[in-house]
């Protein structure tokens, strides 16, 4: 493996701080959503503290916090913080003007409707975002119906935001345990984008079997697709694996078939932004190309996803909304000069759909689903309730 040691990167102390810091947290003392700014990695560890729904929306949109589960947890916390601020008379409205305290249920309810729709508009593909907002909002409505006053509703929202965050840690850990049956000591693995600890609170989804395996003494050799155009594989996955002493190398996205031809890859592990009821999966653009290469080279493709990513209301992948992003991400970002002619048309979907028949198994916190997915996913979701 060639290596590039020209850049110094982060020092050992910063790496240790990174490993000790959850990707998304809530600070109850200061009423802030606390995230690692992922746009600054792997060069700088920057912890961001967000107070308003506008700051949270922007952080999700700009991918400062990203990855389906991390987006969901962030949105849940932002929803609570906004309700708290509204009740305390600390929220702002249009043009940043302060709003009167929403002490009545009607005023709080209107604010929650608005905040729900607003946060939900930040990114369309990862279903965890709308799942988390729905769960928070439903809880508020049911507590009001049960007779709670606005202050008690807001306190229940605080507890629910914590619960969603804590569940994410347990869920990813369980995905790691369940995925362990699919790997062996010494395996060469490949992954796409970042479905690692940075995409969740801790552990990640696709990386969870790697981290749990490492705890049991397994070694892995992990290839990270760099993942054009935003380079989450190179910037984030390679960084977090190396920080955890897991052997990692980076390749350009188009190289995976060539690598598989050498026999160096025993399995592919990817994350997912939405699983349709038939087992089609939407994940970072390029995943379906990786899946096609896996099929050609008889490498199993495992999709790791919490059940909050499974959307039984979406019959197939064709029903999943795919985010389109700015042309500049392809033509200019990361370069000192533009790398495509000015005015050129750009196709820049952030996600693609991998057909269910290319997916060997879907690893959830409730077990490993195998084809036919119509049956296995329905069973897992029914058990979950
Ligand atoms: O655009 P991103 O960086 O949010 O895309 C993220 C992915 O595609 C991840 O693979 C996915 O969210 C799985 S997260 C465990």
Concatenating the DSSP letter of every residue in 212-229 gives HHHHTT---EEEEE--TT
One pLDDT digit (tens) per residue for the chain, 385 residues:
666 655 557 899 999 999 999 999 999 999 999 999 999 999 999 999 999 999 999 999 999 999 999 999 999 999 999 999 999 999 887 777 788 888 899 999 999 999 999 999 999 999 999 999 999 999 999 999 999 999 999 999 999 999 999 999 999 999 999 999 999 999 999 999 999 999 999 999 999 999 999 999 999 999 999 999 999 999 999 999 999 999 999 999 999 999 999 999 999 999 999 999 999 999 999 999 999 999 999 999 999 999 999 999 999 999 999 999 999 999 999 999 999 999 999 999 999 999 999 999 999 999 999 999 999 999 999 998 8
For residue 71, how far is its CA from the centre of ligand 1 (angstroms)?
A: 9
CA angle 344, 345, 349 (to 5 degrees): 135
Atom of ligand 1 nearest to the CA of 126: 12
**Does the C-beta of 273 come closer than 6 Å to ligand 1?**
yes
**Does the C-beta of 282 come closer than 6 Å to ligand 1?**
no
Distances in Å between the alpha carbon of 203 and those of 179, 209, 257, 276?
12, 9, 27, 24
For residue 91, how far is its CA from the centre of ligand 1 (angstroms)?
A: 31
Give the C-alpha separation, 139 to 135, whole Å. 6
**Does the C-beta of 205 come closer than 6 Å to ligand 1?**
yes
Domain 12-171, CATH class in plain words: mainly alpha
What are the structural domain ranges in the chain? 12-171, 175-384
Pairing label, strands 310-311, 367-369:
unpaired
**Does the C-beta of 64 come closer than 6 Å to ligand 1?**
no
**Does the C-beta of 195 come closer than 6 Å to ligand 1?**
yes
**Domain at 175-384, CATH homologous superfamily:** Translation initiation factor eif-2b; domain 2 (3.40.50.10470)
- Active site includes 4? no
Considering the candidates 22, 82, 187, 273, report the single residue annotated as catalytic.
273
* pLDDT computed for residue 1 by the predictor: 60
If you search the block for the tokens 């609170």, which residue do you land on?
A: 201
């Amino acid at each position: 493996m060639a290596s590039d040691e020209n850049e110094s990167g982060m020092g050992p102390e910063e790496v240790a701080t990174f490993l000790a810091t959850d990707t998304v947290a809530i600070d109850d003392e200061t009423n802030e959503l606390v995230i690692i700014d992922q746009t600054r990695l792997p060069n700088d560890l920057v912890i961001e503290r967000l107070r308003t729904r506008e700051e949270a929306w922007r952080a999700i949109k700009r991918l400062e916090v990203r990855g389906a589960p991390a987006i969901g947890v962030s949105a849940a916390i932002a929803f609570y913080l906004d309700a708290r601020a509204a009740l305390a008379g600390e929220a702002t409205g249009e043009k940043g003007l302060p709003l009167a305290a929403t002490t009545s249920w009607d005023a709080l309810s209107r604010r929650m409707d608005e905040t729900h729709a607003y946060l939900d508009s930040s990114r369309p593909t990862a279903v965890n975002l709308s799942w988390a907002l729905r769960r928070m909002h439903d809880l508020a409505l049911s507590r009001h119906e049960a007779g709670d006053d606005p202050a008690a509703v807001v306190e229940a929202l605080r507890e629910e935001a914590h619960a969603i965050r804590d569940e994410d840690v347990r869920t990813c850990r369980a995905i790691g345990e369940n995925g362990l049956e699919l790997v062996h000591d010494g395996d060469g693995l490949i992954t796409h984008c970042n479905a690692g600890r940075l995409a969740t609170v801790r552990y990640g989804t696709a990386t969870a079997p790697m981290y749990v395996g490492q705890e049991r003494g397994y070694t892995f050799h992990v290839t990270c697709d760099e993942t054009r155009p935003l380079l989450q594989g190179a910037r984030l996955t390679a960084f977090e694996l190396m920080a955890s002493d897991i052997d990692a190398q980076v390749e350009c996205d188009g190289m995976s078939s060539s690598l598989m031809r050498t026999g160096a890859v025993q399995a592919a592990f990817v994350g997912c932004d939405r699983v349709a009821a038939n087992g089609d999966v939407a994940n970072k653009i390029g995943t379906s190309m990786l899946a096609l290469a896996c099929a050609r080279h008889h490498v199993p493709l495992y999709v790791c996803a919490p059940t909050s990513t499974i959307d039984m209301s979406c019959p197939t992948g064709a029903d999943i909304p795919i985010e389109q992003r700015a042309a500049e991400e392809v033509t200019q970002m990361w370069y000192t000069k533009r790398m495509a002619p000015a005015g050129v048309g750009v196709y820049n979907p952030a996600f693609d759909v991998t057909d269910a028949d290319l997916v060997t198994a879907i690893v959830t916190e409730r077990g490993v689903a195998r084809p036919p997915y119509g049956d296995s996913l329905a069973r897992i979701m029914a058990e979950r309730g």
